[in-house]
Amino acid sequence: MARRRNPYIFVRKKTHPVRRVLLTAAAFLLIALGMILAFNYLLRNNVRLDTRRVTVADLPSDLESFSILHLSDLHGAEMGDGMSRLQRAIGEQAYSCVVMTGDMVGVKGDVQPLLDAIAVMPRGAPVLILPGDEDPPYLADADQGNAGPYAAWAEAVTQAGAVLLDEPYLITRGKNDRSRLWLIPEDLYSLDLNQLEAVYRAQLDELNGYLALTPDQAARRRVAEYQVRRAGSAREKLKQIQPGDVQVVVSHTPLTEDFMTEVIPWSSRSDVVSLRQASLILAGHYCGGQWRIPGRGAVYVPDFGWWPEEERINGWSYVYGIPQHISSGLGPADFYPWWESFRFLNPPDVTRVVLTSRMY
């Protein structure tokens, strides 16, 4: 006898309970992942401004509420058309100076985002840029077709009105400029300027011995001349620092207790120019760990491994009793091994650091 056909064409097949649970779980995971990625997209496209007051003992009254806009680690990232998102975060507040602690260009060498950032900085505030370890060299020791010692990106930055910070920079306030604040590159606290000058004078003597120079040799001579001038200028400025002047240390890589313990004993307590006399340290480098988990912190940092201590890579801490601010930066760093292309749950960040003599 022939089999009767099922008169019902559309018949719901029974789904195995385990399979149904798995499908439901997968759907929830996809929805959750989509929501997290959407939230991360919003974070990445909104620059956060943090304000922090820092107590400085014996701060001159004319420097009360002196404010530093601290930025770091742009890595050539765009922050909206013409850096509009960065400009919106900075707002209309007054700033005494702007300090950028390195890797603002990054390994790709595209200087235009940095130039756009400089263009939206607060008017009237000097913009100081410390080159970082992933920035291209700022001095051109090979021919680049220009007549100065700077590499092309550094030349563009200085023409935009910024200062490349490789020697002490003085800001004064009050009657007769009596209140003084110095922004000092960290390496000048331990660099032997006499030895640096001697090395480049020897290079100059060698190059000046040639009847004619190749374009590359001419570039090397310009760099040597610059370094000799820099050593002399930095040495004279360090001599001008007086007791009572505020010293702000500018470093790309955060300073550690081990480093301070090694360097500080080389100076005596009576030395005016010493890391022990610093009032504040500004640094960057780690981009806050790049990928972060709320409530847990950075996932991985090459220098420290998995789940590093927060105070070593991000935010505020004290090193050798000195307050240190480590910026979480603006862009993604290229030295992270797997996720160099974007930041995860880690919004771009700038900080307004306000100096005060008051205790909080």
Per-residue pLDDT tens digits for 65-98: 999 999 999 999 998 888 999 999 998 888 999 9
Is residue 22 located within the same domain as residue 104? no
Residue 160, pLDDT > 60, answer: yes
CATH code of 262's domain: 3.60.21
Burial of 304 (0-12, 13-18, 19+ CB in 10 A): middle
Is residue 37 located within the same domain as residue 75? no
Please report whether residue 207 resides in a domain. yes
> Which residues constitute the domain of residue 113?
48-356
> Where does the pLDDT of residue 358 fall: very low under 50, low under 70, confident under 90, or very high at 90 and above?
confident
Which pLDDT score is estimated for 359?
79
Residue 122, pLDDT > 80, answer: yes
Strands 300-301 and 305-306: antiparallel
Is residue 52 located within the same domain as residue 99? yes
Residues 6+ apart with CB under 8 A from 184: 168, 169, 247, 248, 249, 250
Is residue 226 located within the same domain as residue 342? yes
Distance CA 217, CA 292 (A): 47
Please report whether residue 8 resides in a domain. no
- Quickly list DSSP for 168-192: -EEEEESGGG-EEEEEEEGGGGT--
| Residue in this structure with the two tokens 């410390």, named with its chain if needed | 130
Which pLDDT score is estimated for 43?
62
Please report whether residue 11 resides in a domain. no
pLDDT digits (tens, 9 = 90+) for 199-209: 999 999 999 88
Which pLDDT score is estimated for 36?
62
Please report whether residue 1 resides in a domain. no
Which pLDDT score is estimated for 11?
52
What total number of domains does the chain contain?
A: 2
Distance CA 285, CA 314 (A): 9
Residue 44, pLDDT > 80, answer: no
Residues 6+ apart with CB under 8 A from 268: 274
Please report whether residue 243 resides in a domain. yes
Query: In 3-state terms, what secondary structure has residue 335?
Result: coil
Which pLDDT score is estimated for 344?
87
Q: Which of 20-24, 134-138, 270-274 has the lowest mean pLDDT?
A: 20-24
pLDDT digits (tens, 9 = 90+) for 288-323: 999 998 888 999 999 899 999 999 999 999 999 999
8-state DSSP, 344: B
- Quickly list DSSP for 244-289: T-EEEEE-SSPP-HHHHHHHGGGS-TT-SSSGGG-SEEEE-SSGGG
CA 236 to chain centre: 27
> Residue range 170-179: average pLDDT?
92
Q: Which of 155, 157, 147 is nearest to 219 (CA)?
A: 147
Residue 15, pLDDT > 70, answer: no
Please report whether residue 144 resides in a domain. yes
Is residue 149 located within the same domain as residue 221? yes
Task: Quote the Cα angle for 253-135-148, to 5°.
Answer: 125
Is residue 93 located within the same domain as residue 150? yes
Which pLDDT score is estimated for 342?
81
Which pLDDT score is estimated for 336?
85
pTM: 0.88
Burial of 211 (0-12, 13-18, 19+ CB in 10 A): exposed
Is residue 30 located within the same domain as residue 63? no
Query: In 3-state terms, what secondary structure has residue 329?
Result: coil
Which pLDDT score is estimated for 46?
82
Residue 328, pLDDT > 70, answer: yes
Which pLDDT score is estimated for 341?
73
Is residue 223 located within the same domain as residue 256? yes
Is residue 116 located within the same domain as residue 31? no
Distance CA 222, CA 150 (A): 9
User: Highest mean pLDDT: which of 28-42, 245-259, 331-345?
Assistant: 245-259
Residue 28, pLDDT > 80, answer: no
Is residue 35 located within the same domain as residue 154? no
Which pLDDT score is estimated for 37?
66
Please report whether residue 4 resides in a domain. no
Residue 3, pLDDT > 60, answer: no
Which pLDDT score is estimated for 38?
64
Please report whether residue 347 resides in a domain. yes
Which pLDDT score is estimated for 18?
72
Query: In 3-state terms, what secondary structure has residue 225?
Result: helix
Residue 12, pLDDT > 70, answer: no
Q: Which of 9-18, 303-312, 319-328 has the lowest mean pLDDT?
A: 9-18
Which pLDDT score is estimated for 5?
57
Average pLDDT, the chain: 89
> Where does the pLDDT of residue 158 fall: very low under 50, low under 70, confident under 90, or very high at 90 and above?
very high
Residues 6+ apart with CB under 8 A from 224: 200, 201, 203, 204, 207
Residue 334, pLDDT > 80, answer: yes
Is residue 322 located within the same domain as residue 199? yes
Is residue 21 located within the same domain as residue 129? no
